[in-house]
A and B are shown apart, each in its own frame.
Chain A
Amino acid sequence: MTTVLTPRAEQRVERLHEIWDERPGVLGWLTTVDHKRIGLLYLFTTMAFFLAGGVEALLMRTQLAQPNEHVVSPGTFNELFTTHGVTMIFFAVIPMQIGAFGNYLVPLMIGARDMAFPRLNALSYWIFLASGLFLYAGVFTGHAPNAGWFDYVPIALRRYNPGPNVDFYALALIFTGISTTIGAINLVVTIFKNRAPGMSLNRMPLFCFAILATSFSLIFALPSLTVDLVFLELQRKAGFHFFDVGHGGDPLLWQHLFWIFAHPEVYIIVLPAFGIATSIIPTFARRKMLAFPLVALAELLVAFIGFGVWAHHMFATGLPLIAIVFFAAASMMVVIPSTIQVFAWTLTVTMGRPLFKAPLMFIGGFIVFFVLGGLSGISFAAIPIDQATTDTYYVVAHFHFIIFGAAVFPLLGGLFFWFPKVTGRLYNEPLAQAAFWLTFAGTAITFFPMHIAGWLGMTRRIYTYPSHTGWGTYNLIESVGGFILAAGLVLVAFNLVWSRLHGPPSGRDPFFGGTLEWTTESPPPHYNFAVIPRVSSPYPNWDVADREEDAQDLDRGTRVFDEGHETPATTVRDGYLDDVLEMPSESGWPIVIALCVTLLFVLVLLSHYVSAVAFAGIAALALAVWHWREPEPEPL
């Protein structure tokens, strides 16, 4: 869509630039509150962590490729699988989905100019970055976490694990939990309150429903992990008794609290992936999403049921039978909303006129792996199967199909899909398709044989195995697959970097997408939309009349909101215009507070509690000063 601006409209756009543009250079990035810049910071950071987690995975696959290998020592292997799991889940996949995709896309999709709390958004990023560096400070000083990503007690207690490894784990996760909580609250309020006028809930993009469901899950699931980690640190550092039987504690308490968080976490990982799928599918199938309200409800329902199934991770711990049966039944229920979505996706593709470009191919791969991983997932609801396969490679196979196949594939598809929006350039299609086939084959070859190895009795977390077990062939295939997968990912990265530099210009809307982000320029300006768009359906970019009206509004000066740093606020359900908000601009406070909080955690790690409290005080003072200055004091 090429739009010729009238002189009046041009003037307004210029004014918006003056109001919204941020400082140039590095300082601009350090003090930014622009959700797009913060989204990109998240993206680059999570990609770095993804690379680290990937290298750890390849080291493990090298060690396991043959029986009786000694590439790494058993201790290092423990650190590798623990750090790999923690990195991929907490520092790569989830923050890439919520922090990078959620941050960048949600305001664009709902027609807002920024998040509800732009400075908190920046704080969330800096705390995330600091917590990741904190974890890797442990890795590089030789104290990587080593008790598995779920860090079961008693192995994680001081008596059996005297080094600071587990402290790095626990404190890094409490630390990053602050960032995640802030981010989740910010997204919920943004989605509730800052949608463009006219975007009632039933017209909200399904991606935003998915992010909403994820954020709710995080708000209600994370406290359980935080409390668990605080208990662990109190026991390790201060001699409290939560997990040792001798003093009235209970090791199973750790597992309950961990999984009350970590099963919802599984859905937190896949829900944004569902959201990406529901963005890509209608665009390339060239029709509206089938069963739109059902899919929206299913996304929320998955998040809700996710809270009632945690104990299926604990069927082998000797829980009472009645509890096991309850959780097995609840686990079966997750099938219903998942299946609704799978049918909605596949039927939307088959009933449309699909264009099989790279993003849709990645979604195809996602559906395949989600169904396969889902089927092995249901098998755990059958209690005997669960008990037989607990802690075997069958479980590893299952959750890698889900986490890599069903969560990372949509991320890769999404990277290509929104690449033109973010950079203003097109990616290379043939190269992207080649990368898809490589990663698809790599994923299948790496993770499928793990099912068999698991049934043959290969247990998780072993650093090597004798040759007579017969697991050698499967492991060799898996390791080869791992390197094919890595090659595919390198090709994806190469494509993105090369296209960023040499890709042809894409224009606003190369794929004729349906949601609002495609109505604005690529890359979007700091103010996102010159005119706050009008919305009268779930696919506003396909409502041509509305978009023409927007252009006229720019000329007339209606819905431009160029009196200051402004964005409209609307009512939660109906999206009626309620107020015009004056948004804060660039601020150095978020990074200052993140630094204080970092020092606080470092000092707690080193057991200097008084100084730690001092930094908590400084952080509180900084918060008070931050909120002392108002965006623009408006009398009542």
Chain B
Amino acid sequence: MTEAVVPARPRAASSNGWWGMVGFVATEATLFGVLIGTYLYLRVRAVHWPPPGTPEPKVVLPLVLAGILAATSIPIFLGSRAATAGLARRAQAFFLIALVVQSAYFGIQVYEMASDLDEFTPQQNSYGSIYYTLLGADHAHVAVGILMSAWLVLRLVSGLTRYRLAAVRAIAFYWYAVSVIAVVVALCLTSAAL
């Protein structure tokens, strides 16, 4: 008579929630693009970068940390795959592993930022201003991800629903983007020492 209107198969395309996250990440990535653009703009206009009297940024530790954060994409990916297969416990475990590493990363970064502040301040010159603003935005981004992941891990206690699966995929996408952004920011900031 008429075509079947409710498909019997599981949904093929990505959910609205995932698309919403893509939109959010697009605007956030642009925000980082603008911050990094500002960094480069101020840098090419400066004679010395960092200016005399301001210590050069550390190189090894930030890059290693960014690498570790990027590596958490692996458990996130595995967790997302487990959720798609309907395995709530596994998904929760993978997200929890990632969450522990991400929280440790965040803690070390906050400590590092505090010790940087002992050496030079954002009020000293434009280098300090953009350095701390870019780094602060990066850390804030990670903090938001940690909050979302914590919510998700708690929510998965009572199993998976379609709504929560959408959340798993959206939050996983967010973390992939955060990893890329953290690496780019680390490369940008450490480049001043090279």
Residues of chain A at the chain B interface (Cβ within 8 Å): 116-117, 120, 181, 184-186, 188-189, 192-194, 197, 219-220, 222-224, 226-227, 230-231, 234-235, 238-242, 247-250, 253, 256-257, 260, 553, 556, 558-559, 561, 568-569, 571-572, 577-581, 620, 624, 627-628, 630-631, 633-636
Contacts and interface: CB of A to CB of B under 8 A. Distances in A.
B120 interface: no
Interface of B: 1-2, 5-7, 11-13, 15-16, 19-20, 23-24, 26-28, 30-31, 33-35, 38, 41-42, 45-46, 51, 86, 122-130, 133, 147, 151, 155, 159-165, 167
A630 B27 contact: no
Given A247-B126, A636-B161, 4 more contacts: A189-B20, A231-B38, A257-B34, A580-B6
B20 A117 contact: yes
Contact of A226 (B13, B15, B31): B31
A249 B39 CA distance: 11
Nearest to B150: A624
A117 B86 contact: no
Contacts, number: 149
A8 to B, nearest CB: 15
A617 to B, nearest CB: 10
Contacts of B13: 193, 569, 571-572, 578-579
A116 B7 contact: no
Contact of A559 (B5, B19, B26): B5
Nearest to A120: B20
A569 B27 CA distance: 24
B12 A578 contact: yes
A394 B151 CA distance: 55
A234 B163 contact: no
Interface of B, secondary structure class, is helix
Contacts of B11: 569, 578-579
A569 B6 CA distance: 11
A188 B125 CA distance: 40
A590 to B, nearest CB: 15
B155 A628 contact: yes
Nearest to A630: B163
Given A635-B161, A636-B86, A117 B16 contact: yes
Nearest to A194: B16
Given A253-B42, A624-B151, A634-B163, A234 B133 contact: yes
A56 B163 CA distance: 48
A559 B30 CA distance: 40
B167 A240 contact: no
A185 B27 contact: yes
Contacts of A189: 16, 19-20, 23
Nearest to A552: B2
B161 A257 contact: no
A227 B126 contact: no
B23 A248 contact: no
Contacts of A231: 38, 129, 133
Given A227-B38, A579-B11, A631-B163, A241 B125 contact: yes
A627 B165 CA distance: 13
B165 to A, nearest CB: 6
B30 A220 contact: yes
Nearest to B45: A250
Given A116-B16, A249-B126, A219 B30 contact: yes
B12 A227 contact: no
A223 B160 CA distance: 35
A253 B165 contact: no
21 contacts: A184-B23, A185-B23, A193-B16, A223-B27, A223-B30, A239-B122, A239-B123, A240-B123, A240-B133, A242-B42, A248-B125, A250-B41, A253-B38, A558-B2, A569-B13, A569-B16, A578-B7, A581-B16, A631-B163, A634-B163, A635-B162
Nearest to A633: B161
A189 B21 CA distance: 10
**Centre residue among B12, B19, B159, B165 by max chain A CB count within 10 A:** B19
A211 B35 CA distance: 28
Given A234-B129, A242-B129, A250-B41, A579 B7 contact: yes
A31 to B, nearest CB: 20
A185 B28 CA distance: 12
Contacts of B34: 223-224, 227, 257, 260
Contact of B126 (A248, A580, A628, A633): A248
A627 B125 CA distance: 42
Contacts of B130: 242
A185 B133 contact: no
A143 to B, nearest CB: 25
A218 B19 CA distance: 16
Contact of A219 (B19, B23, B163): B23
A358 B129 CA distance: 55
Contacts of B42: 242, 248-250, 253
A189 B127 CA distance: 39
A577 B8 CA distance: 11
A235 B7 CA distance: 56
A577 B5 CA distance: 7
A192 B122 contact: no
A106 B11 CA distance: 24
A635 to B, nearest CB: 6
Nearest to B86: A636
A594 to B, nearest CB: 18
A634 B10 CA distance: 13
A246 to B, nearest CB: 9
Nearest to A218: B27
Nearest to B31: A223
The 8 closest A-B pairs by CB, nearest first: A185-B23, A248-B126, A223-B31, A240-B129, A223-B30, A579-B11, A239-B123, A630-B163
Nearest to B6: A580
Contacts of A634: 161-163
Nearest to A185: B23
Contacts of A227: 31, 34-35, 38
A349 B90 CA distance: 62
A184 B46 CA distance: 37
Contacts of A223: 27-28, 30-31, 33-34
Nearest to A571: B13
